Amino acid sequence: MKSIVILVSGRGSNMEAIVRAASPGARIAAVISNRPDAQGLQFAAAHGIPTAVVDHKAYPDRAAFDAALAEAIDGFAPQLVVLAGFMRVLTDDFVRRYDGRLLNIHPSLLPSFPGLHTHRRALEAGVRVHGATVHFVTPALDCGPVVIQAVVPVLADDDEARLAARVLAEEHRIYPQAVRWFVEDRLLIEGANRVRVRDEATTTSALVVPPVECVS
């Protein structure tokens, strides 16, 4: 049984998707937020999941906050830490502490559109496809090894809200899948920037893409 800690800052809809998927062999040990009013804490508590708050406003800098956050996480002894709408930039030391066991989901087809406002930027760039990426977290922002990606078409009448909604639906599908693969010990990080899924079929309903090397 693998223990998982999920970090949220708001509603945590991807956290909800992971909890509802209930991967065999996984136990959600805790949901932790940097915001006391995060709606995701209420969902977790209603499902019998322990919760904790490490309020970033109570710390003088990112390093102090990350140290307190790591202490809270380690109290649950997780094998995997999942970022699910956790809106804090983490220090390099924090990321290295959980090397190979820290997952994030980003609302674009990385390495395209790292950072914020991805849907607006995709529309402005005129791309024909957009999507979401689950990746291992590394010190380079939004540049870690790609686990799984899902693609959605960009339609002629799309605005940010419509495009974001379709991408979010795919996030809710692929994030639980990535967590399940981790729990089943099927994710193999090869080299600096590639993930292979052990025994995975060559075709899948979500697009699994070899990552392009990031330039940091």
Close Cβ partners of 6 (under 8 Å, ≥ 6 residues apart)? 12, 15, 18, 28, 30, 31, 32, 44, 81, 82, 84
Which listed residue (106, 119, 130, 135) is catalytic? 106
Q: Report which secondary-structure segment, H or E, holds 72.
A: helix 62-74
DSSP for residue 98: T
Report helix, strand or coil for 11: coil
Nearest to 133 by CA among 111, 119, 149: 149
Judge whether 106 counts as a catalytic residue.
yes
Whether 105 and 86 have beta carbons less than 8 Å apart is answered as no
Q: Which long-range contacts (CB under 8 A, 24 or more apart) does 33-39 make?
A: 33/7, 33/8, 33/9, 33/86, 34/7, 34/9, 34/65, 34/69, 34/86, 34/87, 34/88, 35/9, 35/10, 38/8, 38/9, 38/10, 38/11, 38/12, 39/10, 39/11, 39/12
Residues labelled as active-site residues: 106
